[in-house]
């Protein structure tokens, strides 16, 4: 018994000792500043609001997230009043709530494995609401600051419009005083209450600092290299869209050109989509729908008249500018086009473990480059998937998609507002010299499909094409040069006719364009070029899609409208694939595509945006200057990179060049610093300038002046270190400086300058 009681006594004493040690430890100091707490709550509120604003119309999110603003404010008020308490029960409740929030996060993540950015942001919002009920210390307030910063960062990655800009500006305006107050709190000099406003920086200084930060941010954004390829293959995608019914990819549904009806047999649809039948035929007069482009359909009737009402249909983030290709037509009908092999569309099913769908590609010898694009639909589009040619991987929210023989992608459902998907394309480079040497022997399938011309117009169109080619000052022997010349000839010799009348039933579009009206609608130019090329034995087809749209340099997105949709001509080069040509007046002859160097593409696009506001002569002159500078830099970089491909000698020459450039840069930096110092000295009063010159010279001699030393202490410290004679000069100039600075006595500047020159004179012997 005695042994057991002694053990209990020893345990009790150990526990008591531990309690005394714990009570002796310094307790966490609560943060009492109301101003700091309020400003941090404002930061959190801006972060939550920015996520809601940025995600609107872009990805799925709940408006209930805005309830986190008043809830977190209530929590912050509670924690301030309870900042001196231990709040054990509250901490347990917070821990349980965080576990529930984590469970909710994983359930949403598994149920919606697409774009996880907003899901992660919502987890942070839930944690912030719980965390706000326990903010006694400055460190805990720091966690809330970081959550607000992360939320504003997530909103920046999700945002596609400038609506996010004002929130970012407000965040910067609030964050700067928060950082000042937080630093004062760390030093222990932060006052309680609102008196701290008087101790911080002025509003003018804060606004100036914000403007500097924003300017630097824009400059960095413009100069930041855009390197090809992503290292992480996790792309923005909408949540899965369920499709009820059988999908075989045979049918195209354009909401602007359908009727409600029974649906014709063999329409390729079933269920809900089978109730839609095509309204437009391949010929005959009609009116264009003012919202939907008429060319995104099974047939393209070019005897329609009217115009589109401008409307933003999608926003595209892409590593390169390009033509967002939608579909292609192979059969000319006389007044339009049709797709002859829709029933041969191949259905593609995505992976069971990811949103990734592999798209089959035609083998090509052309050099290509991987380009990643993310599309966000802002207005309903047909069930056709825009993408740069040629798509290789598709990350789309439906389990199945289809691809037709012309390389066009089709969806089981229409592309609705808010849908987001990503495409990885292997875009071929356009090498003119290589394509000029392409073969001119075509297989039977290519001839049957892409050389088709109605017999009634074949000879007359061929004669007109040959007559245009005969105007070339040099003989044209290859399909590439012939296509370029014909496209340019159409631009120069024919005009857009806005008031073009309807074609009669027996009229042919190409004949009417060439011989009756000498022009037509913009898309008619592409039809005429396609048929003319076919008539002289060059395989061609009509391709429809969207132009790049307007690039917004501040968001990094291409804003595409329905009016950006148009048709071009694609020409086939054996073993290299299809390449587009644009004969429409006012359009570039070669559509936008990838280039060898687009590392600083954002800077170029930003300049294009700025140049649009400048007078044409000024913009032209600056473009010429930038082009000359750019070509010089490009040649220099090419020469330099070529050194490292010339063996060991080239490598040594390259390294020597780097060292020489580094040395010149160092000398330039020193020269710039010296020039700045001289400018600074010139602005000073004569006596101040003379004294600073002496201090600078002494620092170069190894005798720097400490900031804590007065002029007399510095002179006394030197004594006779340089030598007695120079020490006397230093003492004389220092005393003169003190009499001028503090006694306002005039000094003999000429004599003192002479003494300074004696001081700086090199020693002999």
- What is the structure's pLDDT at 279? 44
Residues near 379 by beta carbon (within 8 Å), at least 6 away in sequence: 291, 311, 312, 313, 314, 417, 562
Furthest-apart CA atoms within the chain: distance in Å: 123
Strand-pairing partners, residue 384, are 410
Query: Checking DSSP bridges between strand 565-573 and strand 577-581, what pairing results, if any?
Result: antiparallel
Report the 3 state secondary structure along 244-259: CCCCCCCCCCCHHHEE
Residue 51 — pLDDT band, cuts 50, 70, 90? confident
Query: Checking DSSP bridges between strand 495-496 and strand 519-520, what pairing results, if any?
Result: parallel
Residue 122 has pLDDT above 60, yes or no: yes
Query: Checking DSSP bridges between strand 391-395 and strand 331-332, what pairing results, if any?
Result: unpaired
Residue 601 has pLDDT above 60, yes or no: no
Q: What is the rounded CA–CA span in Å between residue 76 and residue 136? A: 9
Residue 203 — pLDDT band, cuts 50, 70, 90? low
Using alpha carbons only, give the angle 182, 186, 187 rounded to the nearest 5 degrees.
120
- What is the structure's pLDDT at 453? 94
Mean per-residue pLDDT for 693-698? 87
Mean per-residue pLDDT for 141-158? 85
Least confident piece of the model among 355-364, 407-416, 558-567: 355-364
Residue 326 has pLDDT above 70, yes or no: yes
Residues near 102 by beta carbon (within 8 Å), at least 6 away in sequence: 123
Token pair 């007078």 in the structure block, residue: 615
Kindly report the average pLDDT of the chain as a whole number. Answer: 82
CA 450 → CA 83, 530, 589, 591, 735, distances in Å?
A: 79, 9, 21, 21, 96
- What is the structure's pLDDT at 189? 66
Q: What is the rounded CA–CA span in Å between residue 274 and residue 260? A: 10
* Short-list 579, 566, 528, 569, CA closest to 296: 566
Token readout for 673 is 């610093």
* Short-list 482, 478, 455, 480, CA closest to 468: 482
Token pair 């008043």 in the structure block, residue: 70
Least confident piece of the model among 74-78, 155-159, 466-470: 155-159
* Short-list 419, 356, 367, CA closest to 392: 356
The full DSSP string for 222-252 is HHS---SS-SS-----PPPPP--S---S---
Residue 728 has pLDDT above 80, yes or no: yes
DSSP classification of residue 137: B
Q: Which fold has domain 442-546+565-597?
A: C8orf32 fold (3.10.620)
Mean per-residue pLDDT for 698-720? 81
Residue 693 has pLDDT above 80, yes or no: yes
Q: What is the rounded CA–CA span in Å between residue 386 and residue 384? A: 6
Q: Is the peptide bond before 234 cis (omega within 30 degrees of 0)?
A: no
Residue 481 has pLDDT above 90, yes or no: yes
Mean per-residue pLDDT for 544-559? 87
- What is the structure's pLDDT at 29? 65
Token readout for 95 is 């821990």
Specify whether the CB–CB gap between 342 and 404 falls below 8 A: yes
Mean per-residue pLDDT for 601-609? 64
DSSP classification of residue 513: I
DSSP classification of residue 437: T
Which of 78-82, 460-464, 651-655, 705-709 holds the top average pLDDT? 460-464
Residue 229 — pLDDT band, cuts 50, 70, 90? very low
What percent of the chain has pLDDT above 70?
A: 81
Residues near 495 by beta carbon (within 8 Å), at least 6 away in sequence: 518, 519, 585
Residues near 698 by beta carbon (within 8 Å), at least 6 away in sequence: 704, 705, 718, 722, 730
Residues near 609 by beta carbon (within 8 Å), at least 6 away in sequence: 551, 553
Residues near 687 by beta carbon (within 8 Å), at least 6 away in sequence: 736, 737, 740, 741, 747, 749, 752
- DSSP, collapsed to helix, strand or coil, labels residue 654 as helix
Mean per-residue pLDDT for 144-148? 87
- What is the structure's pLDDT at 597? 47
Residues near 453 by beta carbon (within 8 Å), at least 6 away in sequence: 332, 461, 531, 534, 535
User: How long is the chain?
Assistant: 765
Rg (CA), the chain: 37
Specify whether the CB–CB gap between 736 and 743 falls below 8 A: no
Q: Rounded to a whole number, what is the distance in angstroms from the first to the last CA of the chain? A: 98
Mean per-residue pLDDT for 347-358? 83
Residue 349 has pLDDT above 60, yes or no: yes
Least confident piece of the model among 67-76, 273-282, 389-398, 693-702: 273-282
Domain ranges of the chain: 29-223, 442-546+565-597, 684-760
Which of 85-89, 143-147, 183-187 holds the top average pLDDT? 143-147
- What is the structure's pLDDT at 232? 45
Which of 18-27, 113-122, 530-539, 590-599 holds the top average pLDDT? 530-539
Q: What is the rounded CA–CA span in Å between residue 675 and residue 680? A: 9
List of E strands, 267-323 = 276-278, 286-287, 299-301, 304-305, 312-318
Mean per-residue pLDDT for 272-295? 68
Q: What is the rounded CA–CA span in Å between residue 615 and residue 613? A: 7
Other beta carbons less than 10 A from residue 364's beta carbon: 15
For 688-708, give one letter per residue: b (16+ CB within 10 A) or e: ebbbebbbeebeeeeeebeee
Q: What is the rounded CA–CA span in Å between residue 279 and residue 498? A: 24
Token readout for 375 is 């599309």
């Amino acid at each position: 018994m005695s042994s057991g009681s002694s053990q209990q006594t020893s345990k009790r004493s150990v526990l008591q000792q531990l309690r005394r040690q714990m009570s002796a430890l310094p307790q966490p100091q609560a943060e009492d500043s109301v101003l700091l707490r309020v400003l941090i709550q404002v930061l959190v509120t801006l972060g939550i609001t920015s996520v809601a604003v940025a995600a609107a119309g872009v990805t799925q999110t709940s408006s209930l997230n805005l309830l986190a603003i008043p809830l977190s404010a209530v929590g912050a008020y509670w924690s301030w009043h309870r900042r001196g308490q231990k709040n054990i029960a509250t901490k347990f409740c917070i821990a349980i709530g965080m576990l529930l929030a984590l469970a909710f996060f994983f359930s949403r993540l598994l149920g919606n494995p697409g774009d996880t950015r907003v899901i992660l942001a919502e987890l942070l919002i839930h944690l912030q609401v719980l965390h706000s009920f326990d903010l006694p210390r400055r460190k805990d307030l720091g966690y809330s600051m970081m959550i607000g910063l992360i939320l504003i960062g997530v909103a920046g990655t999700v945002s596609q419009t400038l609506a996010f800009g004002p929130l970012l500006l407000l965040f910067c305006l609030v964050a700067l005083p928060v950082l000042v107050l937080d630093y004062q709190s760390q030093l222990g000099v932060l006052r309680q209450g609102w008196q701290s406003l008087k101790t911080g920086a002025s509003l003018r200084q804060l606004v100036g600092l914000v403007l500097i930060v924003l300017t630097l941010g824009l400059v960095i954004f413009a100069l930041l290299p855009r390197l090809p390829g992503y290292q992480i293959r996790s792309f923005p995608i909408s949540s899965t869209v369920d499709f009820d019914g059988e999908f075989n990819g045979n049918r195209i549904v354009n909401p602007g050109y359908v009727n409600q009806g029974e649906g014709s047999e063999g329409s390729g649809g079933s269920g809900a989509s089978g109730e839609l039948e095509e309204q437009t035929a391949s010929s005959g007069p009609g009116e264009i729908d003012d919202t939907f482009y008429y060319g995104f359909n099974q047939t393209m009737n070019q005897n329609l008249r009217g115009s589109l009402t401008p409307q933003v249909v999608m926003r595209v983030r892409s590593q390169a500018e390009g033509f967002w290709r939608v579909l292609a037509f192979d059969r000319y009908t006389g007044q339009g086009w049709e797709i002859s092999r829709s029933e041969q569309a191949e259905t593609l099913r995505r992976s069971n473990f990811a949103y990734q769908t592999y798209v089959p590609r035609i083998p090509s010898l052309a050099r290509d480059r991987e380009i990643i694009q993310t599309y966000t639909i802002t207005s309903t589009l047909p069930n056709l998937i825009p993408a740069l040619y040629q798509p290789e991987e598709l990350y789309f929210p439906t389990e199945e998609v289809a691809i037709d023989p012309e390389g066009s992608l089709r969806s089981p459902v229409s592309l609705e507002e808010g849908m987001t998907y990503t495409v990885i394309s292997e875009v071929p480079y356009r090498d003119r010299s290589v394509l000029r040497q392409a073969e001119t022997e075509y297989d039977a399938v290519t001839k049957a499909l892409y050389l088709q011309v109605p017999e009634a117009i074949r000879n007359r169109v061929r004669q007109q094409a040959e007559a245009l080619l005969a105007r070339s000052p040099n003989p044209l022997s290859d399909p590439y040069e012939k296509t370029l010349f014909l496209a340019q000839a159409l631009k120069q010799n024919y005009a857009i006719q806005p008031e073009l009348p309807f074609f009669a039933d027996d009229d042919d579009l190409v004949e009417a364009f060439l011989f009756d009206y000498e022009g037509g609608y913009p898309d008619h130019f592409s039809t005429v070029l396609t048929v003319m090329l076919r008539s002289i034995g060059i395989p061609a087809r009509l391709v429809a899609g969207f132009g790049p749209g307007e690039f917004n340099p501040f968001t990094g997105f291409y804003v595409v409208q329905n009016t950006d949709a148009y048709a071009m001509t694609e020409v086939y080069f054996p073993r290299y694939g299809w390449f587009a040509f644009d004969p429409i007046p006012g359009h570039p002859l070669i559509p936008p595509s990838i280039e060898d160097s687009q590392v600083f593409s954002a800077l170029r696009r930003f300049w294009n945006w700025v140049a649009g506001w400048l007078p044409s002569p000024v913009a032209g002159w600056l473009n010429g200057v930038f082009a000359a500078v750019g070509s010089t830099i490009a040649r220099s970089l090419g020469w330099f990179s070529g050194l490292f491909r010339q063996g060991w000698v080239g490598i040594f020459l390259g390294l020597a060049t780097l060292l020489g450039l580094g040395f010149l840069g160092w000398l330039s930096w020193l020269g710039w610093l010296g020039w700045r110092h001289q400018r600074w000295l010139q602005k000073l009063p004569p006596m101040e300038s003379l004294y600073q010159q002496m201090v600078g010279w002494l620092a170069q001699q190894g005798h720097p002046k400490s900031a804590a030393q007065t002029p007399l202490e510095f002179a006394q410290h030197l004594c006779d270190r340089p030598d007695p004679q120079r020490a006397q000069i230093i003492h004389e100039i220092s005393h003169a400086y003190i009499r001028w600075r503090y006694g306002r006595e005039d000094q003999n500047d000429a004599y003192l300058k002479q003494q300074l020159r004696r001081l700086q004179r090199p020693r002999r012997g």
